[in-house]
Structure 1
Amino acid sequence: MMIENTGLNGVKSDLALLDETAEKAGFVRWQWEYYRATYEYKIEDNKTEYYVRMNTRVVEGKLEKPDTILVIEAVYMGKATFPHGLEYETPIPAAVQGIANKKLQQFKEMLEA
């Protein structure tokens, strides 16, 4: 499920600030390679795990250099599946969506501060 109207799509930041802000907001940079990174936030609801993901892409430099500039490309959410992966077509409970929206707003405010 794509999460629209977060105000994050297209936002640029250097890697150092993005990593610091993500950590403070509870996001983790899991998947990464030299030109992209994915930040995730886990939400648990009745023994079901959901993940909010932010995809970023390098626009200047290479990852692992603090001054690398990244742009947030997409924000989406899915239900965790076994053994690993996300299912994006499953309806997300309203309470989980609410938590995700609050967390994304918090992340955006911290990034802009």
Structure 2
Amino acid sequence: MIIENSGLNGVQSELNYLDDAAEKVGFVRWQWEYYRATYDLKLVDRASGSEYFLRINTRAIEGKLESPHAVLNIEAVYIGRATFPHGLEYESPVPQHIMDTATQRLQQLKQQLV
């Protein structure tokens, strides 16, 4: 599910600063290559045991991710349920308490970046 109202789409930050801000909120830069990176936050529904990942997609608009001074643009924010062996399914409904936590973490990150 794409999260349209995160307030993060279009926000720009240097890689080093974004890494630090994301880590403070609990995100990990998980996948990356020279020009794009994703930041993931794992959320677990204790009732069902399901795992959800809040994911932020970014793309370098200045430099490459080899440099801590590369400037990244946040392109999209979405959440999905983890599937075996390793993937995300974006069509499943997300429990409200998981969405509430996701929204809270996105707001914390936004405060760090804006």
- Structure 1 length as normaliser, TM-score? 0.97
Count of residue correspondences: 112
Aligned pair partner of 1:99 in 89, 98, 101: 101
Distance 2:113 2:9 in 1: 13
In 1, distance between residues paired with 2:109 and 2:4? 15
For residues 50-99 of structure 1, give each alpha carbon's deviation from its aligned partner in whole angstroms, at most 9, with x where no partner exists: 00000000000000201100000000000000000000000001110000
Ranges in structure 2 where 5+ consecutive residues have no aligned partner: none
Residue-by-residue CA offset, 1:15-74 (whole Å, 9 max, x unaligned): 010000011110000000000000000000021100000000000000020110000000
Unaligned runs of 5+ in 1: none
Aligned to 1:31: 31
Instruction: Give RMSD over aligned pairs.
Output: 0.6
Counterpart residue type for residue 31 of structure 1: Q
Aligned to 1:89: 91
Matches within 5 A, 1:1-113: 1-46=1-46, 47-112=49-114
Deviation (angstroms), 1:5:
1.0
TM-score normalized with structure 2 length: 0.96
Structure 1 residue runs of 4 or more that deviate by more than 6 Å after TM superposition:
none
Cα distance in 1, alignment partners of residues 61 and 112 from structure 2: 21
SS at match of 2:22: helix
